[in-house]
């Protein structure tokens, strides 16, 4: 047993008084701890390299986005989540006529098959 380690445990639930302590920021896409930058959602360097900027933005800022898949399909969406090798695209009833199926609960597309992605109304 070590007797050099100082005891840091508070006695009676005073932990909430540590107002200066913040939880470590994690990458908004993959969840790994990463450095904080301002107060914006942060992304780790690996995700910054891997994903298009507009796709990263769609993870935290619902708006109008579009992307094209390798097969030529263009999908307009309003928000996304990263699930491993796939991006889950959500629509918020935007441009329903543009989709081959209603995709009422969104659609998962393989990230490696995204040819381009864009931010803004089109």
Q: 30: exposed, middle or buried (C-beta count within 10 Å: 0-12, 13-18, 19+)? A: middle
CB of 117 to Zn ion, least distance (A): 17
Smaller CB distance to Zn ion: residue 47 or 80? 47
CB of 108 to Zn ion, least distance (A): 18
Indicate the DSSP class of residue 6. P
Using CB under 5 A as the criterion, which residues of the chain lie in contact with Zn ion when the complex forms? 27, 29-30, 44, 47
β 107-110/86-90 pair status: antiparallel
Nearer to Zn ion, 22 or 49 (CB): 49
Min separation Cβ 47 and Zn ion, Å = 3
């Amino acid at each position: 047993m070590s007797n050099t380690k100082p005891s840091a445990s508070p006695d009676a639930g005073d932990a909430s008084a540590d107002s200066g302590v913040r939880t470590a920021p994690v990458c908004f896409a993959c969840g790994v701890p990463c450095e904080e930058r301002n107060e914006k959602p942060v992304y780790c360097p690996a995700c910054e390299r891997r994903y298009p900027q507009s796709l990263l933005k769609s993870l935290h800022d619902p708006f109008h986005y579009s992307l094209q898949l390798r097969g030529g399909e263009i999908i307009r969406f309003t928000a996304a989540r990263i699930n491993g090798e796939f991006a889950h695209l959500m629509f918020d009833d935007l441009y329903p006529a543009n989709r081959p199926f209603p995709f009422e609960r969104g659609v998962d597309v393989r990230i490696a098959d995204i040819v381009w992605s864009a931010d803004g109304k089109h």
